[in-house]
Structure 1
């Protein structure tokens, strides 16, 4: 009985349905306590605005706190700075994205905003892609075998990175998304923008047993 190694591929473009906002606040000071006090005020100001618009403070997650001394400063620049970073995940909508940007402008928030988009049901999607990748390999193997009048008997082994990918996907899951709409803002054409998309892929290397 012979063997044949054939790679299989599958991919699908999906519309992202989860957005993660990472918000960074920084402030300078003549001393570390002064810098910390200033950055705390910035964060408190932001959280107060969010509370007033229906987003509770406990919906945010703490990402990072940092204080440091500047090792090269210009004349008149304060020598210390402090940073605080928080994040929040919610169902993705262009309304919410536009609202967040409008709040930053309206309330003159000194915040660095970073957005990450992804598809929530990645685990099930990649299981389906894995199945399609194996089927793709099988179709190719059967076609090649038919050239010499042979047939596919079964699978000897499969090489895939699915287990490693599965661990990564679990870390991206959201078991609970408690926020569906940020408070009212001015109407905007930007609300009509389409949601971002992403292409998810799987590939396998299958060793097929060939009937002589």
Structure 2
């Protein structure tokens, strides 16, 4: 009887986890992107507010993971696109810039079969810094995510990339810099500014593979 009860408990736990994951997926709507929304590239983050931007976005989150932090009181938010090359200790600035205990925090993306387990490592780091993750959602097998953060409401949603707002030469420069450093870059349109990029002086080599 104990063995049967154990099997029932295991299957019930699996069913409950799948039900919870489905419920979390249904929380995220599909929305339409607006013009000139700042795009966060791989190994980059933006800190901004509803006074500056209505929304921010990042696309192609596959094995990478998106971190979203939102302050409902100030309508200020952070969107980061993290890959396995990022030193997660660089996220310590979050505890300085945000009162993480009262923030709405979401971690989205990564593959459930990823042996590096970037998703869980980011979650552990946020908890270590005093934050509580309200939404933790992996990609479905073989799929990726494109995500928007509405800075007026704090809603995180899916979207289809149709209106790229980053000039092609700037986009190529952001991809190319991944080859030289593993640090996390700050988006130039962040509050207080960010890392500036000069596409003219940064060499752009054809055929450089974008790491996922």
Relative to the length of structure 1, the TM-score reads: 0.22
Which structure has greater helix proportion? 1
Relative to the length of structure 2, the TM-score reads: 0.22
Which structure has greater strand proportion? 1
Q: Which has the larger radius of gyration?
A: 1
